[in-house]
Amino acid sequence: MANLELLEKLCNASGVSGNDDEVKDIIINEIRNYCDRLYIDRVGNLIGLKKGRKVSKNRIMICAHTDEVGLMITGILKDGTLTFEAVGGIDCRVLSAKRVMIGKIPGIICSKPIHCKTAEERKIPVPTKNLVIDIGTESRKETQELVKIGDTATFRSEFIRLGENKIKAKALDDRLGCYIMCNILKKDLEYDTYFAFTQCEEVGCRGAVSAAMSIKPDIGIVLETTTAADIYGVSGDRTVCEQNGGAVVSIIDGSTIYDRTLYKVAVECAKKNNIKIQTKKYVSGGNDARSLQRTAGGAKVTAISLPCRYLHTPSCVGDMRDAEQMEKLCFKLIQEYGDLDI
């Protein structure tokens, strides 16, 4: 398995939408010596330009988002516990009893215990509005000395290896994409390429809009994760994609119809270079491609994704064999797309 020290560092970092400076700092320290230009724009995107051996026909932008789903503190109760709202798409069924970190402060998400619930309450998931975070304090005053309304919380989840090729971590969506971009930036490129580490993807793909406005790419390559439902009880196209099936290349998802020419070139490139790929089988989800496609005159877009189990939970699971295929395909596509007549 590849050296995962950087990926572990990125996944463990706190970066809820709108509060991802810790993630950007890690990336800056990793890539600053490999960029010909590196800056943070007015909305918080980290953008790097890597000069290639020549200027391409098409301005190419590779994109991955730095933010993760998480929680925002909305209130402090009399007993010292905290109310919160989800930031991004989190199923309330994965929240109860989970460990979180509010900055450096650990906490536990809790609710009314099951023996105190009515028969009807036991039948349904506990809604977010009925959950609180317990940080071990005993009064509102004590909590106010540690936590403020507006603070963000991330899942506390250990980065571990599962078996020979898989990993479990929070925020693989989309620190895996950021990790691959860092790796590609360290290589010699054929063509000038822009790398945009975007923010606020989880709350409407907002950062990618301003990145596209300033870069004005002809072609956008989005590195992402996508749901792998290749688990017990799911079959057919509902599995979406399979782990160890290779990089996932999309034709359509819940917010984007991808460029057919770019898709065809990606398939041919994979075949030519012995890169393992698969096509996303189910129309669902969305990513920054929608923003690139619709902004500043538009761009042709393609998405290359990691099949990821248990997305938007503390326990995302990915297979690094698929990640390696993603990196190989993206690196090769810079050359293929750079000289493409579009």
Q: Is the pLDDT of residue 1 over 60?
A: no
Work out the pLDDT band at 59, boundaries 50, 70, 90.
Answer: very high
Among 1.10.1040.10, 3.40.50.720, 3.30.1330.20, 2.40.30.40, name the CATH number for the domain at 70-155.
2.40.30.40
Q: Is the pLDDT of residue 136 over 90?
A: yes
The residue among 278, 271, 294 whose CA lies nearest residue 244 is: 278
**pLDDT tens digit string along 77-92?**
999 999 999 999 999 9
The number of helices, as runs of H, and strands, as runs of E, in the chain is 8, 17
Give the count of beta carbons closer than 10 Å to the beta carbon of residue 97: 10
Q: Is the pLDDT of residue 2 over 70?
A: no
| CATH class of the domain whose range is 5-68+170-338 | alpha beta
pLDDT, mean of residues 36-44? 96
Q: Is the pLDDT of residue 98 over 60?
A: yes
- pLDDT recorded at residue 113: 86
In this structure, of 45-54, 118-127, 304-313, the range with the lowest mean pLDDT score is: 118-127
Rg of the chain on CA atoms, in Å:
21
Q: Is the pLDDT of residue 257 over 70?
A: yes
Residue tagged active-site, from 201, 202, 224, 327: 201
What pTM was computed for the model? 0.95
Whether 336 is catalytic: no
Average pLDDT over the chain reads: 95
**pLDDT tens digit string along 103-134?**
999 999 999 888 888 888 888 989 999 999 99
pLDDT, mean of residues 95-109? 96
Same CATH topology for 5-68+170-338 and 70-155: the answer is: no
Q: Is the pLDDT of residue 303 over 60?
A: yes
Work out the pLDDT band at 285, boundaries 50, 70, 90.
Answer: confident
- Report the alpha-carbon distance of residue 197 to residue 134 in Å, rounded: 33
pLDDT, mean of residues 224-247? 92
The residue among 205, 194, 209, 211 whose CA lies nearest residue 41 is: 211
- pLDDT recorded at residue 122: 87
- Ordered by start, the domain boundaries in the chain are 5-68+170-338, 70-155
- Interior/surface letters 204-219, b for 16+ CB within 10 angstroms, e for the rest: ebbbbbbbbeebebbb
The contacts of residue 124 (CB under 8 Å, 6+ apart) are none
